[in-house]
Structure 1
Amino acid sequence: MMKKTCLITGGNSGIGKQAAIQLAQTGFHVIIGVRNLKRGEIALAEIKEKSEQNDIELLQINMSLKKSILDASLELKKRTDKLDVLIHNAADFDIARKKPEKSVDGIETIWATNQIGPVLLTGSVMNLIRKSEQGRIITIASQGLVMHPKLTVDLKDPEFEKRKFSVPNAYYQSKLAQVMYTYWLSEQLKYTGITVNCIRVTNVKVDTSRYPNISGFMKFLYSMKSRFSISPEDMAKTYTYLASSPDINTTTGKYFNEKNKTVTSSPYSLKKENIDAVMKLTLKYIEQNNFANTLHK
């Protein structure tokens, strides 16, 4: 039987790395999307060692840059004939940042990495996903959205150019957009065998060594929070479940928690007119006028 192939972005650390280990153990050919090849090589060696599997490789991709995403998509098509699972794990959440940062494309990096990038990557590899017997697309959101039930995507200022910026606010907005993208894409693909589901990641222990510039007070807060958090390994089990379980072969357009149970998102995120407005905005960034049409080919 031919192995299934999974691409997981940001698979070199945290939940992504643990998911890569688990998926490799499950029998997947795992491709890890990484920004930095040097750090990726270190992670790759660890993943191979812990999973005791060798069918794992790296793919360089920066989810905040259109060219990097398109180049990675072309490279992926050279390496594999199909893509069974795409997990949009990579995210920008630099808790030390005080003001917005722009990508080379001129887009605020949290919005670019967490919303624009996943949409562009999905469209760019859709032909590979279509070749799978049962393709799966998995997006990632956050339980923190529960604390912001009235949050909306600011259609006029998604990049915080005219309003006060904070990393959490920018992050939660982008993750709300990802939930809405999940619903939109599942509807676009409803007559195919491809499923699209989202994971609501709960509080997970944070490796503060990844953020050397944060204050001692912030480190203290995160150490306290970690006491009530689950491990990346445990959270990754939901990634593995959604990527591999036969129980959800036809389940699509759903939102899952860390217990593999479906949950509900905010009323705002469920309204079709809001979903359509967010996706209209998103597709303007991509400048791919025929993007929706490519989903049906």
Structure 2
Amino acid sequence: MTTKTCIITGANAGIGKEAAVQIANQGYHVVLACRNAARGEAALKEVQTRITSGSVELRLVDMSLQSSIKTFARSFLEKYSTLDVLIHNAAKFDIAEKEPVFTSEGIESVWATNHVGPVLLTELLLGALEKSSQGRVLTVSSKGLLSFPFLKVDLKDPEFRERKFSVAKAYYQSKLAQVMYTYWLAERLSHTRVTVNCIRVTNVKIDLNRYPDIGRAAQTAYKLKSKFSITPEEMAHTYTHVATSVELDRVTGKHFGERNQPVSSSKYSRDITQQKKVMALTKAYLENTL
């Protein structure tokens, strides 16, 4: 039986790393797609000690840079003709940022990392996904979107070039865009064997050592929040379920919560006309790349 292959972006820590362990233990070959080489190597060694079946490898990619994503995809396809699961776990949410940070390619980094990058990587690997007996694309949203029921993607200024920047607004806008992308792509690929679903991540305990620049008040708030949070391992079970469960072979265009149950999203996110507008905007960022 052919070993299935799964790519997980941002797999060096948290939910991504735990999902790598769980999915490898389902017999998959898991590619840890990480931005930082040192952290990636450390994660690779840890995951290798924790798996009892399957296999893992490390490949580097910066999801904020289209050039890096193209290099990653080209390198992957030189070795693998088929991809079974693509999990867009990598995301940027630096709570210490007070002003927008732009990448070397000139795109606001939250928008680039959390939305534009995943769309590009999916497009570049779509041919390999279609060669799978049942390819799966998993995007990731946030339960925090429930606090912003009327949020919309700012089609004129998604990068906060003219309006006041808020890292929370930038983050949730990018996650809303990913939900809409999920629905749009699922419909686009409805005639294929590729399914597209979204995971809604709830409050998960985080390692505050990853955010050394945040103030004491923010640290206290996050410590309090962690008391009501689940572990990365618990959240990763939903990743694993949606990525590997046979019962979901034909399920597409759904949004799953932490208990593996389908959950709803805003009326705006489900509006086909609005989805097309967001994807037209997104494609404008990629017109010189694809």
TM-score by length of 1: 0.96
Is 1:66–2:105 an aligned residue pair? no
Report the Cα distance in structure 2 between the residues aligned to 1:53 and 1:110, rounded to whole angstroms: 35
Distance 1:29 1:258 in 2: 24
Q: Structure 1 residue 53: deviation in Å? A: 4.6
Which residue does the alignment assign to 1:38? 38
What amino acid maps onto 2:270 in structure 1? L
**In the alignment, is the contact (CA less than 8 A) between 2:235 and 2:258 conserved in 1?**
yes
1:249 aligns with 249
- Quick check: 2:141–2:178 contact (8 Å CA) kept in 1? yes
The answer to whether residue 41 in structure 2 is matched with residue 11 in structure 1 is no
Query: Could you tell me how far 1:54 is from its partner in structure 2?
Result: 6.5
Contact preservation (8 Å) 1:25, 1:53: yes
Corresponding position of 2:278: 278
What is the 5 A alignment of 1:83-232?
83-232=83-232
Q: Is the 8 A contact 1:73 1:121 kept in 2?
A: yes
Displacement after TM superposition at 1:131 (Å): 1.0
User: Do 1:198 and 1:255's aligned partners in 2 also have CA atoms closer than 8 Å?
Assistant: yes
**Aligned AA (1:237):** H
- Distance in 2, matches of 1:146 and 1:79, equals 41
SS at match of 1:15: helix
Specify the alignment match of 1:264 in structure 2.
264
CA offsets per residue over residues 174-225 of structure 1, 9 Å max, x none? 0000000000000110000100000100000011100111111111100000
1:38 is displaced (CA, Å) by 1.4
Residue identity matched to 1:109 = S
Aligned-pair identity (%): 53
Matches within 5 A, 1:77-88: 77-88=77-88
Letter matched to residue 123 of structure 1: E
Q: Structure 1, residues 204-262: CA drift from partner, whole Å, max 9, x if none?
A: 00111001111111111000000000000000000000110001100000000000100
Q: Which letter does structure 1 place at the counterpart of 2:32?
A: I
TM-aligned CA deviation for residue 31 of structure 1: 0.2
The aligned counterpart of 1:294 is: none
Alpha-carbon distance in 1 for matches of 2:251, 2:193? 10
Counterpart residue type for residue 59 of structure 2 = L
CA distance in 1, matches of 2:61, 2:52: 25
Report the CA distance between 1:288 and its aligned residue.
Answer: 5.5
Mean alpha-carbon deviation: is it higher for 213-222 or for 54-63? 54-63
Query: Number of matched residues?
Result: 290
What do the CA deviations read for 1:5-42 (whole angstroms, capped 9, x no partner)? 00000001010000001011111100010011111001
The separation in 2 between residues aligned to 1:196 and 1:189, in whole angstroms, is 8
> By how many angstroms is 1:59 displaced?
1.1
1:56 maps to 56
Deviation, structure 1 residue 79: 2.0
User: What is the alpha-carbon distance in structure 1 between the residues aligned to residue 275 and residue 263 of structure 2?
Assistant: 18
Unaligned runs of 5+ in 2: none
TM-score by length of 2: 0.98
Give SS of 2:255's match: strand
Q: CA RMSD in A?
A: 1.0
Q: Which amino acid aligns with 1:206?
A: I
> 1:48, 1:54 within 8 Å by CA — same for their partners in 2?
no
**Compared with structure 1, are the counterparts of its residues 45 and 54 closer, same or farther at alpha carbon in structure 2 (3 Å cutoff)?**
farther
**Aligned partner letter, 1:168:** A
* Displacement after TM superposition at 1:78 (Å): 1.6
In structure 2, distance between residues paired with 1:54 and 1:45: 14
